[in-house]
Homo-oligomer: A and B are copies of this chain.
Amino acid sequence: MAKIIRITDQPIDLQELVEAVTNERNGGVVLFSGVVRRWNEGQEVHWLEYEAYKEAAEEAMALIAQEVEQRWDTRDIAMAHRVGHLEIGEVAVGIAVGAAHRTEAFDACEFAIDTLKATAPIWKKESWEGQGGQQGEKWVENKV
C-alpha cells in the first residue's frame, strides 16, 4: 500500500511527499516534480486545465504502487496529481519513491511517472498562442 495517493485541486506539497517515503530503511529517495512550461513545441502556453476521472485515476495510481512494490520491493511511494486551473511554473504532479539503494529509487520513480502518463485517466487542456498571434485551446495527448 502506497503512503500517499491523491488527486487534488490544491497545490502539491512536495516536501510532504518526500517526507512520507523517507525513513531509516531507505538510503535513497527520488522525487519527480512535473511543472507547467511556458513554451511547448513552439507555442506559448497561457495556462493549463487538468481534468481527472478521480476515483479511476486513484485506482490507476494504486496499481502503479502495487507494481513498484513487486518489482523494487518497496511500499514507500507517494503520488499526487493536481486538477483544475494551473499557471506557468506550477507543479502538476509529484511522485516520491524511497528504496534501500538509489538505483532502485531512480528506476521505480521513472517507471511510476511513465506509467501514470500512459494509464491514468487524466486530461490536459492547453490555452496556447502561436508565434503569429493566433490563439486557441486544445486537449493535449501524451506521446506514447
Which A positions have Cβ atoms within 8 angstroms of B? 14-15, 18, 22-39, 88-89, 91, 98, 100, 102-103, 105-106, 109-110, 113
Contacts and interface: CB of A to CB of B under 8 A. Distances in A.
A119 to B, nearest CB: 16
A120 to B, nearest CB: 15
Q: Is chain A's interface secondary structure helix, strand, loop, or mixed overall?
A: mixed
Contact of A22 (B25, B28, B89): B89
Contact of A33 (B18, B32, B37): B18
B32 A37 contact: no
Contact of A37 (B14, B25, B103, B105): B25
A14 B98 CA distance: 15
A37 B27 contact: yes
Contacts of A24: 35-39, 88-89
A123 to B, nearest CB: 17
B38 A34 contact: no
Contact of A35 (B28, B36, B106, B113): B28
Contacts of A23: 35, 89
Most B Cβ at <10 Å: residue of A35, A88, A103: A35
